[in-house]
Amino acid sequence: MSADATFLDSTELVLNMGPQHPSTHGVLRVILKLDGEKVLGTDCVIGYLHRGVEKIGENRTYAQFNPYVDRMDYISAVSNGLGYCLAVEKLLNAEAPPRAQAVRVILTELNRVASHLFWLGTHALDIGAITPVFYCLREREEALKIFEKYCGARLTTHAFRIGGLQYETYDGFEQDIRDFCAMFVPKIDEYEELLSGNRIWMGRLKGIGILNAEECKEYGVTGPVLRAAGVKWDLRKAQPYSGYEKYDFDIPTRESGDTYDRYVVRMAEMRQSIRIMRQAVDGIPEGPVMAKVPKVIKPPVGEAYVSIEAPKGELGYYIVSDGSTQPYRVRVRPPSFVNLQALDRMVAGGLVADVVAIIGTLDIVLGEVDR
C-alpha cells in the first residue's frame, strides 16, 4: 500500500459471523477476513458456552459427575456417558457385565443415529434444503422416545452408571429397537432420494472444504471427517470397547475428503449403526446389569485414558485419581474442539457461502467445544 492510500484501497474486509448466527450451530464467533466474496482467512472465537465442566469434575464425586458429561455434547449424551463410565471402570479395574455391555452398545448406536439425523437436518437447512430437517427430526423423535422409555429423559439421558446400568430394560425394549430399525432403513433411502442426486446439493457440496488424509492427521481430526478423506480409522474396530469386537460391521470411507463425501460417509454410518443394533438386540445375554462396584467409588491412585468413537469423532476421557472419592483431574478430549481447528484450512480460498456449509459438515456442538 502506498503512503497516500486510504482504507478504501485495502482489499481486506473483516466481518464477524456469529456468535448469534444461526448457521454457526450455537455460539461460535468466526472472524472472516474477506476479499469481496473470497475468504482469505478465519479466526474462531470460542468460549461463549464455557461452564468449566472439567473443574466441576474435580469438585464432585465420581458418580455425581456422571450427569454433567451429558451436557457437553448434548446431541449425543449417551456416548459421552459411555466414555466417562468406561474411564472410571478402567480406574476401578471393573468391567460391566455382558448384558449391560450389549444394552450400552444398542443405546450408543441409537444415539449415533439420532446425532447424525440432527446433523443431516441442520446441515441441509444451512445449505437451503428445508424439507430434510422436518423428516430427520420426525425420525429422531422415535429414537428419543426409546431413550425416554428406557431411562426417563430424552436429551440429557444419564443412561449409564459406573459399573453397568442403573435401569433394567423395560418390557418390549427389544421390539422397540427392532421396530425402529425396520422403520428407519427406508427413511435413509428417502433422505438420499431427496439429497444425493440433487443438483443444488451436489453443486454446493462437491469439491468444497477439501481436507485430505495428510492434513487430517496433522490436525488430529477424527470421525467421519477423517474417514471421508480415505483413512480407515474407527476406534470401534481399532481398539474395541464395550464388546464391539463381537459385532460385524464395516467402516465406510470415501476418497476425496470434500463436504459431499462427508455426507455420504455419515449416511453409510447410519446404515452400519442399524446393522450393529440388529445384531446386538438379537443377542442380549441374560444376567445382571451391574458389576460389583462399591457404593462409594474410591479408585486406587492412578490415571486412565479411555477414548471411544463418538458420533463426531474420538471422544477421550483422561482421569487422574488421588485415591479419594473425587477425581484429582478430569480432562476431556472432545472431537468437536479438535475438528474445529481444521476450519481455517478448509475455508481458506473459498467463498463466504461455503463457510456455512463447512461449519455444518464439521458437525460441531458448541457445548462440547467450550465445555
Partner 1 sequence: MRALSSLLKKIFLVDLFQGLWVTFRNQHPKYIYTEQYPAERPQVAERYRGAPRLNINPDNGQTLCIACDLCALACPENLIVVGSERNLQTKRKELTFFTYDLSRCMFCGLCEDACPVDALELTQDFELASYTREGMIWDRQMLEEGPRPTPYKC
Where does this chain bind partner 1 (CB under 8 A)? 60, 63-68, 71, 138, 141, 145, 148-153, 156, 158, 166-167, 170
Query: Whole-angstrom distance between the N-terminal and C-terminal Cα of the chain?
Result: 43
CB of 152 to partner 1, least distance (A): 4
CB of 144 to partner 1, least distance (A): 10
CB of 156 to partner 1, least distance (A): 7
- Residue with smaller CB distance to partner 1, 67 or 230: 67
CB of 148 to partner 1, least distance (A): 4
- Residue with smaller CB distance to partner 1, 152 or 294: 152
CB of 116 to partner 1, least distance (A): 20
Contact 165, 89 (CB under 8 A): no
Cis-peptide into 19, omega within 30 deg: yes
- Phi-psi label, residue 253: left if phi above 0, alpha if psi -120 to 50, beta otherwise: beta
Q: What is the DSSP letter of 9?
A: G
- Residue with smaller CB distance to partner 1, 163 or 223: 163
- Residue with smaller CB distance to partner 1, 146 or 265: 146
Instruction: Quote the distance between the C-alpha of residue 68 and its chain's center.
Output: 16
- Residue with smaller CB distance to partner 1, 176 or 354: 176
- Residue with smaller CB distance to partner 1, 166 or 212: 166
What whole-number distance in Å separates Cα of residue 68 and Cα of residue 78?
12
- Residue with smaller CB distance to partner 1, 138 or 206: 138
CB of 170 to partner 1, least distance (A): 7
CA atoms within a 13 Å half-sphere pointing along the CA-CB vector of 158:
9
**Alpha helix positions (H), the chain:** 53-58, 62-69, 77-92, 98-127, 131-151, 173-195, 199-205, 213-219, 224-228, 235-238, 259-282, 335-340, 343-347, 352-362, 366-370
CB of 147 to partner 1, least distance (A): 9
Compute φ and ψ for 44, nearest 5 degrees.
-95, 135
Among the listed residues 69, 89, 42, the one whose alpha carbon sits nearest the alpha carbon of residue 241 = 89
